[in-house]
Structure 1
Amino acid sequence: MESAADKVAAARAELLAAYYEARDNGDAEGMAAAALRLPSSQYFGTDAGQVPALIHEAYTVAVGPASRCRLAAALARAWAYGGEARRAVAFAREAVTIADRLGDPEVVADALDAALLANWGPDDFAERPALSARLADVAAHLIDPAQRLTAQLWCLTTAWECLDVVAVQRRLRALDIIAEESGSARAAFFAASRRAMHALVTGDLDTADRLIAITHDLGGKAAEPDREAVVHSLVAARARQIGDTATLRSEAAAFEAYGAGEGVPSVSAEAAVLWLAADEPDRARQLLHRLTGAGLGTVARDVDFLLTVTSLVEVAATLHSDAIVADGVRLLEPFAGRAVLNAGAVTFHGVVDDYLHRAEQALGGPSATRWRDNAASAYRRIGAAWWRDRLIAPAAAMRPAPPVTVHLHRDGTLGWVVGADGTTVVLPDLKGLFYLRELLRSPGVESSVLDLSAAAPGHAGVVTESDTAEVVDRQALAAYHDRLRAIDVELDEAESWTDQAGLDRLRLEREALLAEVRTATGLGGRRRRFSSAHERARIAVRKAIASTLDRIELHDAPLARLLRDTIHTGASCRYDPDPARPVTWLLDSPTTEE
């Protein structure tokens, strides 16, 4: 039996033969007829090959404005399908301009479809609802079911992006009607696949299974180029929901191979998510590092921008790659409130707020709860039960970070070696590095700043009696005791009070005074003496550590963040390890005596 891929290849070969024959005969209209059908043989997101060149050739010799308009739209479509939307914009704009001048509904509908494809990036969302509404209005008066199908698919995509559940239902029913009225296998393929997506979103897995099978069969009958991509996307989404590890591994491997082979970053990013869901964090980490080597800022702002960035942020948050997560927050915040869809709106990947929540939670940011509540509200509204349940139990999805080995030691005259294995840098003899090393040697132990400062060259020195003064003088301390006695009397007599606020104020004042007395006195009530040398050491140590962390951040931002989170400075200093980020510290040079 001939496969769908074979049918697509045969159809393309037939179109190319017709095109070349028309060109050899100087038949511009024949060239246009074949060229207009070439984009339908493309696989979405993959390199367009010679298709744009052939369409452009027909475009340059087009006879009449209607033909030129359709060829400009086809050229825009070919570039957009090939992942080159920026090349498509000018041709789509020209197509709409000519179509509006001609006033032919069929030509206008074709041009609007091209304009939507060319403006499918994350920054063009404001234009899409108006374009899709206009396309639906024009297509409603057309007989051609293919153009009506295109219009309804655009409206459905926009409805999902807006999370408009009523509009989603309406457009799904419109697709059903087009398939029923036309008897077209292609229309039925799109109706079934989008119904399958909706069933997965709402957790109706029995219906989803039935529709996925129908989608597969209809895609073969219609020789739809994207059949395999559509079915793989739906099957992978279902496997995630039920935790089918075997299927997840199979789909992750397929996504990874396709993404690498065709150079499609969004598919590779999805593969990383699937590897993570399949309990293969090392495979997910490899893809994450491969895709983010130049940072998330290099992700193309095309139709798959949100899918690519959210997928990578999910993996990074789970695997504690904080620098990537922080970059993702910056990129995603402008798109809060939006749905995340794959190209063609075949599968739903949650809402941006969900990923912002996961990112802020991983970073310990203050906005995690707000993003979680926003996402939960969106999921309740559209009935996305699996996504909502996954959101309210995020801890289950978080994995402990693998232990890492980090160097922080001197290496003879070379300087200080700082950083994780394989990514170390050499820093000069900064005092803060001496202080950090001493603290890292004794986790959880309080270290006096005077003892700590002695660990570095040029420390503060010995404290003498002349360097000290009483923290609080006798007169002030006596006043504190007098006021405490007065407050105790007032509280003893307060049983009949109804002024709860007044009672609270007295208790707070009492606690504050007790804290001052504890600070000013030592064992046996003796007044503590405060050292000016001690204060100088406290300031010097704090500044030295802060300056050193700034220096480390220039080379290794995650390490600087870890140290800021776990090193505490003050009158005494302490290192409190973070169990979620285990580290093996190498504090002594393995080869050189200091």
Structure 2
Amino acid sequence: MEAEPAPAAAARSGLPAAYERARETGDAELMAAAALDLPSGQRFGVHPGRVPALIHEAYAAAVTPVSRCRLASALARAWVYGGDARRATAFAEEAVALADGLDDPEVLTEALDAALVAHWGPDDFAERLALAARLADTTAHLTDPEARLTGHLWQLTTAWECLDLVAVQRQLRALDALAEESGRPRHAFFAASRRAALALVQGDTELADRLLARTRDLGALAAEPDLEAVVHDLSAARARRAGDTGALRREAAAFEEFGAAEGVPSVSAEASVLWLAAGAEGRARQVLDRLAGSDFGTVTRDVDFLLTVACLTEVAAALRREDLAADGARLLSPFAGRAVLNGGAVTFHGVVDDYLHLAGAALARPDAADSRRAAAAAYRRIGAGWWLDRLAVPAAAPAARARTVRLHPADESGWLVGDEGSAFPLPHLRGLDHLRALLGRPGIEVSALELSAAAPGRAGAVGLGAGTVVDSETAEIADRRALAAYRARLRDIDAELDDAASRADRGRADRLRPEREALLHELRAATGLGGRPRRFSSTEERARVAVRKAVVSALDRIAARDSSLAGLLRDTVRTGASCRYDPDPARPVIWLLDPPDTAGGDAPPPIV
């Protein structure tokens, strides 16, 4: 193969310096030429640094329509590659408008490419198809291999989005021919990597392995900026199909580290799926909680929108996060029938209908079967055997696996709390003692007096603190305020239940009912005739308040590290004059309440 004319990695690092030298000359055309080289060193999704600012400086100084058009195109691509597509649209539109007035197909190719990357979101599919068709017409009679590469890659990407296997194969053959004709490692890199993606879809792992090795070699030879990302994506897909737990864990760790370091949600979302596939549900849950919180409202509707939401929906469905599964289904529904891709057809991540099926099955929705049939039909059509086989496994099966959680003293310095394999340290907190005592006696009422007296360091005494005294008048005022808060929350819950019923949102209603029952129980325990507060002894009142505050404080500390675990405990542990832990059958947990070194032959078994 002949030497690649594009800059090598070492040269790319000097591109900003080359631009600085061009700026010193004051020559606008020289600045434009140097600025146009800057995006060649960008990695997709990584923050672009000062590259857009330098390109914009040259763009503002441009004196010819051709230079201004090319710089507007480069600026649009720089922003999209840097993860900020919102800034790209205006520059891409200007580039196309300028190119339409020029009789230069190569300049128009650059402008159409910029328009395509600026309209790479899920809602612009029709416009993307039209732009890709126009780009294909523009590049059809060009001899420039880079322009032809651009045209073939966009046609390949839209063909995958349409699940048009014939068009996919035709464009792969076109990439092969381009690599053969040009002799350039960069073109061969794209041909090999995209063929590897198809081989993985169709289950030819031997071919995929050969192509993956070739992709590594060619990408290194061409100093391709996205080489590492492409290899990781293909390797992760290969590990999933092989069920290689070791490789899955290595890739999951790499994806999680990169996604967090660079702030790329799609990479982090892929990490959550890889952790789930590796059996590390605790790590998958942590990534899901960091990215989503209570919904997917923060996911940007850009090139990676479908990939990010699909991955998070799969994890949410498997971990019985009905709120997130429902939100994922809502966001994905308009795109049924579409493929989920990573970037420019780097890897195939199934079809939207598959993820709608996973969410629907977790939520027991009647339309889940329809989504499953649509996904199966799509997979049969393109020969995606692995994806078809996984549909045969009941979607709700992962939910039956119990979550293993540690909550016990670790040593003299503190406690160990969290999922097995990813537990975290916490200091000694009285609330953790209370939680541990309740978790060890599921379904049993335990008085606040007993919990407070049993907490280490209490010596049987009950109180809010040294020297604190709660008189009857203060206790009655506190009780009245608590009752008012209970009744206000009950009114809110009833309104939310009515709204859930009107929307047929069974998952939301199921989450609200336990809280309503717990509040009613508190009201019954705390009120007498006519709804008046019962009279408690000052000792009982101090115990109730002390236990509640201690548990709330402990849950807040847990939530800072694992919001899903804190949410589970808030949903299943009730405090008051009497306290109780009621396990949630939909979220089974194996509680490890004793340190490993104390769980000898006579130690009690884990609590389920």
TM-score w.r.t. length of structure 1: 0.71
Shift of 1:295: 2.2
2:170 corresponding residue in structure 1: 170
Q: Is the contact between residue 493 and residue 516 of structure 2 (CA under 8 Å) also seen in structure 1? A: no
**Which residue does 1:291 correspond to in 2?**
291
- The answer to whether the 8 A contact 1:59-1:72 is kept is yes
Aligned residues: 458
User: Match of 2:73?
Assistant: 73
Q: Are 1:428 and 2:377 an aligned pair?
A: no
Match of 1:10 in 2: 10
Cα deviations by residue, 1:512-571 (Å, 9 ceiling, x for unpaired): xxxxxxxxxxxxxxxxxxxxxxxxxxxxxxxx9966955999xx9967424669999xxx
2:510 to 561, 581, 586: 561
Map of 1:449 onto structure 2:
none
1:187 corresponding residue in structure 2 = 187
**1:126/1:25 CA distance change after superposition, 3 Å:** same
Q: Match of 1:384, as an amino acid?
A: A
Q: Which residue identity lines up with residue 82 of structure 2 in the other structure?
A: G
Structure 1 equivalent of residue 31 of structure 2: 31
Task: Name the residue aligned to 2:307.
Answer: 307
Q: What's the CA shift for 1:54?
A: 0.5
Where structure 1 has 5 or more consecutive residues not aligned to the other structure, the ranges are: 419-424, 434-543, 569-580
Query: How has the CA–CA distance of structure 1 residues 344 and 589 changed in structure 2, closer, same or farther, with 3 Å as cutoff?
Result: same
SS at match of 1:19: helix
**Corresponding residue number in structure 1 for 2:242:** 242
Please name the residue that 2:576 is paired with: 589
1:345-389, Cα deviation, whole Å (9 max, x unpaired): 200000000000000100011110000000000000111000011
Q: Does 1:56 align with 2:56?
A: yes
Question: Helix, strand or coil for the counterpart of 1:103?
Answer: coil
- The amino acid of 1:59's aligned partner reads Y
Q: Aligned in 2, Cα 1:415/1:268: closer, same or farther, shift over 3 Å?
A: farther
Deviation string, structure 1 residues 283-303 (Cα, Å, up to 9, x no partner): 000000010126201100000
Match status 1:21 vs 2:26: no
Q: Which residue of 1 aligns with 2:232?
A: 232
Deviation at 1:236, TM superposition (A): 0.3
Structure 2 CA distance, aligned partners of 1:393 and 1:361? 12
Contact kept, 8 Å, 1:401 with 1:582, in 2: the verdict is no
Read off the aligned partner of 1:561 and give its amino acid letter: D
SS in 1 for 2:349: strand
- Could you report, residue by residue, the CA deviation over 1:74-97 in whole angstroms, capped at 9, with x for unpaired residues? 011101111111111111111111
| 8 Å CA contact 1:354, 1:372 repeated in 2 | yes
Query: What secondary structure does 1:340 align onto?
Result: strand
For 1:403-418, list aligned pairs within 5 A: none
**In the aligned structure 2, how far is the partner of 1:306 from the partner of 1:227?**
23
- C-alpha distance in 1, partners of 2:495/2:65? 67
Question: How is 1:90-101 mapped onto 2 (pairs within 5 angstroms)?
Answer: 90-101=90-101
Residue 17 of structure 1: CA displacement? 2.4
Offset at residue 168 of structure 1 (A): 0.4
User: Which residue is equivalent to 2:278?
Assistant: 278
* Residue equivalent to 1:516: none
1:264 paired residue number: 264
2:32 is aligned with 1:83: no
Q: Contact 1:276/1:315 (CA < 8 Å) preserved in 2?
A: yes
C-alpha distance in structure 2 between counterparts of 1:310 and 1:144, whole Å: 37
CA gap 1:74/1:548 in 2 versus in 1, 3 angstroms: closer
Cα 1:171–1:426 shift into 2, 3 Å: farther
Separation in structure 2 between the aligned mates of residue 116 and residue 276 of structure 1, nearest angstrom? 33
Distance (whole Å) between structure 2 residues aligned to residue 81 and residue 262 of structure 1: 13
Q: C-alpha deviations, 1:97-126, integer Å up to 9, x for none?
A: 111110211111111011101000111111
Change (3 A) 1:56 1:417: same
Q: Distance in 2 between matches of 1:585 and 1:93?
A: 54
Contact kept, 8 Å, 2:41 with 2:225, in 1: the verdict is yes
Q: Secondary structure at the match of 1:285?
A: helix
Q: Partner letter of residue 377 of structure 2?
A: S
Shift of 1:392: 1.8
Q: Partner residue of 1:337? A: 337
Q: State how far apart, in whole Å, the 2-side matches of 1:204 and 1:37 are.
A: 38
**Deviation readout 1:428-475 (Å, 9 max, x if unpaired):** 259989xxxxxxxxxxxxxxxxxxxxxxxxxxxxxxxxxxxxxxxxxx
Distance apart, 1:426 and its partner CA: 9.3
Partner Cα distance (1:354, 1:168) in 2:
21
Which sits farther off after the overlay, 395-404 or 48-57? Answer: 395-404
Q: Do the aligned residues in 2 keep the contact of 1:407 with 1:586 (CA within 8 Å)?
A: no
1:22 Cα offset (Å) = 1.2
Distance in 2 (alpha carbons) for counterparts of 1:140 and 1:399: 52
Using a 3 Å threshold, how does the CA distance of structure 1 residues 261 and 23 change in structure 2: closer, same or farther? same
CA RMSD of aligned residues (A): 3.5
Partners of 2:337 and 2:331 lie apart in 1 by 14
Q: Tell me the equivalent position of 1:147.
A: 147
Shift of residue 193, structure 1, vs aligned partner = 0.1
The code of the aligned residue for 2:184 comes to S
Aligned twin of 1:368: 368
* Paired residues of 1:376 and 1:391 also in contact (CA < 8 A): yes
2:515–2:571 contact (8 Å) kept in structure 1: no
The equivalent residue for 2:201 is 201
Letter in 1 for 2:290: R
Cα distance in 2 for partners of 1:75, 1:431 equals 52
The 1:399–1:170 alpha-carbon spacing in structure 2 relative to 1, beyond 3 Å, is same
For 1:321 and 1:44, the matched residues in 2 are separated by 31
Say whether the 8 Å CA contact 2:294–2:324 is kept in structure 1: no
Q: Which runs of 5+ in 2 are unaligned?
A: 406-438, 449-474, 518-567, 581-608
| Aligned residues of 1:319 and 1:401 also touching (Cα < 8 A) | no
Percent of pairs identical after alignment? 62
Higher-Rg structure is: 1
* SS state at 1:128 partner: helix
Q: SS state of the match for residue 314, structure 2?
A: helix
Paired AA for residue 39 in structure 1: P
* 1:408–1:587 contact (8 Å) kept in structure 2: no
Give yes or no for contact 2:376–2:388 (8 Å, CA) kept in 1. Answer: yes
User: What amino acid is aligned across from residue 337 of structure 1 in structure 2?
Assistant: G
What residue identity is the alignment partner of 1:392?
A
Contact 2:8 2:222 in 1 (8 A): no
**Contact 2:52–2:78 (8 Å) recurs in 1:** yes
